[in-house]
Structure 1
Amino acid sequence: MLTGRATAAAKTSDGPVEMLRLFKLAKGSAIKSRTQAINQLKSVLVSADTTLRESLAGLSNPHLFKRCAELDAQHASGPAGAARHTLRLLARRIRHLTEEIDDLNKRIAEAVEVSTPGLLEVRGVGPDSAAALLISAGDNPERLVSEASFAALCGTSPVEASSGKTQRRRLNRGGDRQANAALYRIVLSRLRWDDRSRDYLRRRLAEGKTRREIIRCLKRYVAREIYRLIVPTRAPTDQTGPTPVAV
């Protein structure tokens, strides 16, 4: 603020959450590269010579990549030899990227446990979803003054959409969309495996709510639950002074 009275605290990136962000960045890049390599391998295989193509037909992806990585290209020449060499290179690249992704998955899970012990024990929360939520909160989640501010940060706070006699709220299109997507995945998992969530769905459907509205409500509940884990317990706020707000 121009008056110099701003009390907002900026998100910091000097701890385990920053490690998570970097690991997620590397993992996303590796997944993209592996997908590209898989598509290229199958494209080369389509135009390969008939003998090679038939010898690899019907194999599952893991077996296909293993066979391609073991191809002998030294005794073949011309386009057939080039195809064998290319398939071997691509298969070995896929294997290397898979090992890289597995290593990053392990590092992400470890970093989540260091940052917020017990978060991965919450029903429906996996390493990727946990990482997205922690990255949104930053290394100083205490700057979030309430669970409502965390919900707004994740784009799960309700937006008034009432008109006339119709009272309703709609989805929030703002906030951190990666964190919002993580909450969505958690809710979908719970709707499949958690009895309480499924009972809630049936009850609200009977009340006339749409499935989209119910998922919005459930995301809000999950955001509250996650907030209580990632933000340290607060002492009562001193009402005599200014209250900081999150940015």
Structure 2
Amino acid sequence: MFKRAKDSAVKARTQQLTGRIRDLEHRLARLVKCHFPQLLIPVGMGPDSAVTLLITMGDNPERLGSEASFAALCGVSPIEHSSGRHHYRRLNRGGDRQANAALHRIVQTRPRYDPRTRGYYRRRIKEGKTRREIVRCLKRYAAREVFNLVRPASAGSPA
């Protein structure tokens, strides 16, 4: 009898928290649509990823001088790690891990829904690139796209 009461209390609390999560997700989506609707246009970019990247960019996106600085801030800037005749690049392991995870979600979604990304992926595979190298490049492209979408909108806004 006690177990059933406990299970129903847990179920009620889970439903309550799920409702709060959905409410917060809807509020975040409305805020993104209101202030940066252009971030919801790219394939694979949802409100969660957009908010995470906006938080990483901060209140003053003008402090980021280039898309390369934003990529470094997100931890998707390439770093050389070569040995002998082999020249490799890997992703920067520093930076904001949440932003990196948001870019990773975008990159994992795009091949399923974006024909340009599928074509890019196939072309790079034929060139002999590994899946890891392709994801690294796609993350950098996604960071560049986000930077260019946010930066023009913030340049005209009053300080």
TM-score, with structure 2 as normaliser: 0.91
Instruction: Count matched residues.
Output: 155
Q: Distance in 2 between matches of 1:181 and 1:121?
A: 19
Q: Is the 8 A contact 1:171 1:213 kept in 2?
A: no
Q: Does 1:139 align with 2:56?
A: no
Q: Distance in 1 between matches of 2:38 and 2:152?
A: 13
Matches within 5 A, 1:89-128: 89-128=9-48
Q: CA deviation at 1:172?
A: 1.4
Alignment-mate amino acid for residue 90 of structure 2:
R
Q: CA deviation at 1:220?
A: 0.4
Q: Distance in 2 between matches of 1:88 and 1:155?
A: 43
Q: Is the 8 A contact 1:159 1:171 kept in 2?
A: yes
Q: CA deviation at 1:133?
A: 0.5
Bigger Rg, which one: 1
2:6 to 86, 89, 93: 86
More helix by share: 2
Q: Distance in 2 between matches of 1:98 and 1:92?
A: 10
Structure 2: stretches of 5+ with no match in the other structure: none
Alignment-mate amino acid for residue 79 of structure 2:
V
TM-score, with structure 1 as normaliser: 0.60
Output one character per residue of 1:57-97: Cα deviation in whole Å (capped at 9) or x when no partner: xxxxxxxxxxxxxxxxxxxxxxx2x1222122112111111
Q: Does 1:176 align with 2:96?
A: yes
| Percent sequence identity over aligned pairs | 59
Structure 1: stretches of 5+ with no match in the other structure: 1-79, 236-247
Q: Distance in 2 between matches of 1:164 and 1:85?
A: 66
**Which residue of 1 is the match for residue 131 of structure 2?**
211
Any idea what SS the aligned residue of 2:77 has?
coil
Q: Distance in 2 between matches of 1:136 and 1:123?
A: 20
Alignment-mate amino acid for residue 101 of structure 1:
I
Provide the alpha-carbon RMSD of the alignment.
1.6
**Which residue of 2 is the match for residue 157 of structure 1?**
77
Alignment-mate amino acid for residue 67 of structure 2:
E
